Chain A
Amino acid sequence: ATMAGSHLTREFFELIKTIGESKSKQEEDRIITDEVTRLREKTKSSKMDKRTTKEFLVRLIYAEMLGHDASFGYVKALEMVAAGNLVEKRVGYLCASLCFAPDQPLRMMLVSRLQKDMQSANILEICFALTAACKLITKDMIGAVLGDADKLLTHEKEIVRKKTVMLLHRFLQLDPASVADYDEKFRRALCDRNPAVMAASLHVYDELVRANPAANKDLVPSFVSILKQVSEGRLPRDFSYHRMPAPWIQMKLLRLLATLGHADQKASEQMYEVLLSCMTRADSGLNVGFAVLYETVRTITCIYPNTTLLDEAAACISRFISSDNHNLRYLGITSLAAIVKDHPQYATKHQMAVMRCLEDPDDTLKRKTLDLLFRMTNPANVEVIVDRLVANLRDAVDVFLRQDLVDRISEVAERFAPSTTWYVQVMTQVFELGGDLVKSSTASSVMRLIAEGGDDEDEEADNEMRTDVVETYLELIDRPGLPDMLLQTLFWVLGEYGYLAESMELPAMCDKICSLAGRAGLNKVTRGYAISAAAKLTAQVGAVVPSAQQLMDSFGASKDVDLAQRCAEFRVLASRLDMMRAVMPVDASCEDVEMEGDEGLAFLDSYVEEALAAGAQAYEKPADMAAAEAEAAAAAASHALRFSAYATPDAGTHMPEAGPSSGAGETAGPGGLQAPAGGGLSAAAGPWGQKGQWGRKPAPAPAPAAAAPAAGFPGTLPGQPGSA
């Protein structure tokens, strides 16, 4: 089949052969690079004849498809479009369609050609132009071809009308305003005597209806009527596919009805009968029959609910979900997800089948099922579902799937948790299995929940919960390879609530934490958490255990400022344990720090004044610094390229414009460099002062009015950006 009718050169054939035999990407790249060089030579050489140009373009397309730029050859495509015979013209259009980037200016040059071809007497020529236009037209080109396209809407040949409607659809997508007054014409296309043209118009309506369902409700009877006729087999037999009458038209109409019937009882009621009939007739046992069936089910779930239809749809979904066919199971899950939101009762029946789909080796199916489970979760089934999800997380390998699972479990657990204890248990597992995939905000939520306790202010119940949590973490603490987020939460919990533990005393706990904190290779942030936990426990114990002392000593000199600070604070506080207890109160992580009556920290005023007097630099607020920066930037911007004449040097006293390049050492010129106002080089202000980190501030420009050009100097060029 390969060389049949082949009119290609030996050269091209050899090219393909060598590429096919190439052993590496580099080798292939080299071969194509050579090819591109050859093509480039051809363009430079004496005129290629049309046949050679045709192959040239095919090879160009091939090279570009493999990622090599051959834009030097684009101009040949234009030549072919303009001067070639029909076959050559078509290849020219093809090349342009495939290769011209959205911003390629050569597109514009095709407009006149497109117009001419659309006016041609040759059907094929018109079709080529329509197809090319669809790909090449940009918003600004629409106006140029709309007139010609318009005429083709009533062309005698259906293939032309059909393609013209598609082109108009493209215009609609690019610029709805361009075809704003085409309602009448679209209607005519919908009622075209040829069903293929009608089918094309459905794309247009799909776009219009989705953009504005309310304005198109009057179309419902038409669509219902067409769907009825199509599904009853009243179209010519050519439109049947595997004995299913025009399935794609049916599907398109079903989508339209779904959009129009959504939340609209009146509109939906007009559809019920045809939907039922479609469902019955679509049941052919073939793939395409299932396609129509699925769309019917989908439409039923979208529109205003009707119990009979929903029951039928649910029965259909049942069959899909329990099918052996993977595609059908996938569609079953998708439909169930659609139905479960508004009609959860249909989902419970399938809970087991759904769980089974979760075990399916097919990743796509698994992901879709997760999505469904997520929508199905409610307070009654959350524990069962989360259990399954966590088990899946344990086994899942694919990164996107794992991320999905982690996100969903976190969300669903938080939303429907029956108790804080349960929530913490689940999240601990998620931390353990999900590691870095868990959002850091989740850990904060968990910690906050533990600290805040339950809503009902039951201190006893809260402490029970916290004890459970502490015990859970104590079990985990020796496990190797725990992810950072889990460790951080663990350290925090033990530091805050370790005293509730029943299985371990505080000093021993402190020891444990310190030994873990000292481990090599521990993440800095986690180590920080551990150090703080050790400090808190020390405060509660009332004495510094040797392991804590050792820990603080080892990291007191750490290069990491955060760790060094924590250790330094510990060391200072450890010398005054009563203060330490005040600084680290028990079970008060959610309480505000109170500074009654002294929010301005007035007690530190004398400290500040002493420091300023000793020469410390005053603190400049970031907002002020930003304002100063902006000022300097604006002044600098005003010294862009100057387009107006310089002022005549005269004996006046205004300063010359000092651009960024002016040196500080410039001596007085005829204009005279005056010392800045305020006098004295020691002044902080002024271009040569010490102010600001940019050294020199550019001098302000003299008022433009003063720059009156004397005779002989070129005047200001019109329309140029003047200086500020």
Chain B
Amino acid sequence: MIKGIFVINNHGKPRLIKDFQRMTQPEQQQTVREIFGLLSKRSDNVCNFLEGGSVTTFSKDTKLIYRHFATLYFVVAADGNESDLGLLDLVQVFVETLDKKFENVCELDLIFRSDMVHHILDEVVMGGMVLETSGKEIMDAVTAMERLELETRSAAIKA
């Protein structure tokens, strides 16, 4: 099971928090801080996996799978039942989708359109389990949403 997905920037600020463990807000903040503490110590030439057991809100067998893109860390926290390499690819799929949707996605996109980012993520992971891994399927769902938004907006303008 995936316990949470976090996007944190190079200064430790959270850009996206998707928690599947039912943590409280303070616990989520604590988690972000501790994850960042672990990640900022990693150099660039190491593996993409970390033991997450030292994070207080996670159980001992938790692992962190992360990728560092420019100014952002994409982190997936999962228990022992998930595939490490598989999750790494999942992050890839997610980021590729963001890129397609936002055209060269950057950090500001994550802030201003956080609702859309969440909607995209909701098509990939649901209830802590991997829902959809096909880039095409995810994009289809995203396009459907976009069309809906456009229709709604034009309807509002006409009204």
Contact = CB atoms under 8 A, between A and B. Distances in A.
11 contacts: A16-B108, A57-B115, A62-B111, A86-B148, A87-B149, A90-B119, A102-B24, A131-B126, A166-B131, A196-B134, A291-B89
A1 B50 contact: no
Interface string B48-73: 11110010000000000000000000
A71 to B, nearest CB: 9
B13 to A, nearest CB: 8
Nearest to B15: A65
Contact of A166 (B84, B93, B126, B152): B126
B17 interface: yes
B83 A295 contact: yes
Contacts of B47: 326-327, 329-330, 362, 364-365
Contacts of B54: 400
State the 4 A-B residue pairs at the shortest beta-carbon distance, nearest first: A291-B85, A326-B47, A362-B46, A134-B127
Interface residues of A, number: 72
B25 interface: yes
A353 B112 CA distance: 49
Contact of A91 (B51, B115, B137): B115
A365 B46 contact: yes
A66 interface: yes
Interface in B13-50: 13-14, 16-17, 22, 24-26, 29, 41-43, 45-50
A200 interface: yes
A99 B47 CA distance: 33
B114 interface: yes
B95 to A, nearest CB: 14
A94 B115 contact: yes
A325 to B, nearest CB: 8
Interface of A: 1-4, 6-8, 12-13, 16, 51, 57-58, 61-62, 64-67, 69, 85-87, 90-91, 94, 98-99, 101-102, 124, 131, 134-135, 159, 162-163, 166-167, 169-170, 173, 196, 200, 203, 206, 210, 238-239, 241, 247-248, 251, 255, 287-288, 290-291, 294-295, 326-327, 329-331, 361-365, 367, 400
A85 to B, nearest CB: 5
Contact of A98 (B29, B83, B118, B126): B118
Nearest to B92: A287
Interface residues on B, range: 35 or more
A2 B106 contact: yes
B133 A241 contact: yes
A159 B22 CA distance: 25
B81 A255 contact: yes
Contact of B25 (A67, A163, A248): A67
Contact of B51 (A6, A196, A364): A364
B15 to A, nearest CB: 8
Given A1-B106, A66-B14, A331-B84, A367 B127 contact: no
Nearest to A131: B122
A241 B134 contact: yes
Given A58-B115, A94-B118, A94-B119, A2 B51 contact: no
B7 to A, nearest CB: 10
Contacts of B46: 326, 361-365
B85 A327 contact: yes
Given A58-B114, A94-B115, A327-B49, A294 B83 contact: yes
Nearest to B46: A362
B111 A64 contact: no
A362 B49 CA distance: 10
A664 B105 CA distance: 78
B51 A367 contact: yes
Contacts of A101: 24-25
A64 B25 contact: yes
Nearest to A71: B25
A317 to B, nearest CB: 15
Interface string B83-121: 111101110010000000011111011011111001100
A210 B79 CA distance: 14
A51 B83 CA distance: 41
B153 A7 contact: yes
Nearest to B90: A248
B145 to A, nearest CB: 8
A247 B93 CA distance: 13
A374 B3 CA distance: 29
